[in-house]
Amino acid sequence: MEINIFQLNNYKLGSIGFTSRELENLKIDFVEEKLLSNDYNGNNPTNKIVYLKVLFDKGNKKILGCQIANEKNIEARFNTIKTIMEKGGDLKDLVKYKVNPTDDEWNPDILNILALSAISKSEENSTDVEANNIENLLKNKEFLLDVREEYEYQDGHIKGAINLPLREILEKKDTLPKDKDIYVYCRSGHRSADAVNFLKSLGFEKVHNVDGGFIDISFNEYHKDKGNLENSIVTNYNFD
């Protein structure tokens, strides 16, 4: 099983197994779970934000693919995923797997935490929109709302998205449409979730959170475009 790793500025972007797009094309029923966490453990932690995504079978919870973005430390984590996938392992195997073999005791890695989160997600229903659906939303001319600060928006955003920082929503709520769906995104999915709840309290019924935010969108687009922004749906990639 092959591990593919690309370099983008200071970041390493890696993938193993299937991507979301490939699973959709194969019409495989899957679930994806994402995690943004500080890279705090392992042999040489970066103490920087690391992005992880695991794709798993909705029925038997077997791992179908994984993507990671970090400045370093992605090889050991991919080797963990590779070992489990080659054995036909599932999320429960990843939960208990010792990612850092040099640790004297089992010290939970962010991969273990991701697996726990994925198990929890598979047991509940979510109305969030996945980042890999953004391209279809754009084709359908849906309303995309970026609730990050203006400087974040200028550093990179979805082409055609409207920027309205979270702190300005109450003041400018009348500029938003109530008769159409609004798809809200931020950096990681946290501020946008707050914005969705706030808009619902203001009487907006057709609002949806984009799970994973612009970091997840950037990862998907970079993997698809191989760094060529000309035909991308984003103005720039952002993993910070």
Instruction: Among 64, 88, 122, give the residue marking a domain's end.
Output: 122
**Residues 6 or more apart whose Cβ sits within 8 Å of residue 163:** 146, 148, 150, 153, 157
Considering the domain boundaries, does residue 28 fall inside one?
yes
Residue 234 lies in a domain: no
Taking each helix axis as running N to C, give the angle between helix 110-122 and helix 75-86, from 0 to 180 degrees, rounded to the nearest 10.
50
Write down which residue in 90, 122, 154 finishes a domain.
Answer: 122
Same domain, 118 and 151: no
State the pLDDT confidence band at 49, using cuts at 50, 70 and 90: confident
Residue where one domain finishes, among candidates 75, 90, 122: 122
Active site residue 66: no
Counted domains in the chain = 2
Q: Is 60 exceeded by the pLDDT of residue 3?
A: yes
Query: Going by C-beta distance under 8 Å and a sequence separation of 6 or more, which residues neighbour residue 42?
Result: 73, 76, 99, 100, 109
Residue 199 C-beta-side C-alpha neighbours within 13 Å: 30
Residues 46 and 100 in one domain: yes
- Residue 160: which CATH number? 3.40.250.10
161 found inside a domain: yes
Cα–Cα distance for residue pair 156/10, rounded to 1 Å:
17
Specify if 240 maps to a domain. Answer: no
The string of pLDDT tens digits covering residues 51-101 is 899 999 989 999 999 999 888 778 889 999 999 999 999 999 998 888 877
pLDDT, tens digit (0-9, with 9 covering 90-100), for 191-226: 998 898 899 888 898 999 998 899 999 988 888 877
Q: What is the span of the domain harbouring residue 152? A: 129-225
The mean per-residue pLDDT over the stretch 121-132 comes to: 73
Q: Are residues 34 and 133 in the same domain?
A: no
The greatest distance separating any two alpha carbons of the chain, rounded to the nearest whole angstrom, comes to 58
Claim to verify: residue 113 and residue 16 sit in the same structural domain: yes
Report phi then psi at 44, rounded to 5.
-145, 70
Q: What one-character DSSP code corresponds to residue 99?
A: S
- Is the Cβ–Cβ distance between 189 and 212 less than 8 Å? yes
Residue 206 lies in a domain: yes
What is the percentage of the chain residues whose pLDDT exceeds 90?
A: 52
Task: Answer whether residue 232 is part of any domain.
Answer: no
Question: Are 101 and 153 members of one domain?
Answer: no
Nearest 5°: the CA angle 66, 72, 78 is: 30
Residue 71: CATH number of its domain: 3.30.390.30
One domain, residues 63 and 172: no
Same domain, 17 and 66: yes
Among residues 84, 164, 186, 217, the one annotated as catalytic is 186
- Residue 235: inside a domain: no
Question: What is the pLDDT, as a whole number, of residue 95?
Answer: 87
Nearest to 195 by CA among 149, 139, 126, 239: 149
The verdict on 32 and 61 lying in the same domain is yes
In a shared domain, residues 9 and 51: yes
CA 224 to CA 232: how far, in whole Å? 9
> 37 with 89, same domain?
yes
Say if CB 211 and CB 133 are below 8 A apart. no
Residue 74 sits in the same domain as residue 28: yes
Q: Give the tokens for residue 164.
A: 């309205």
Considering the domain architecture, whether residues 173 and 97 belong to the same structural domain is answered as no
Does residue 239 form part of some domain?
Answer: no
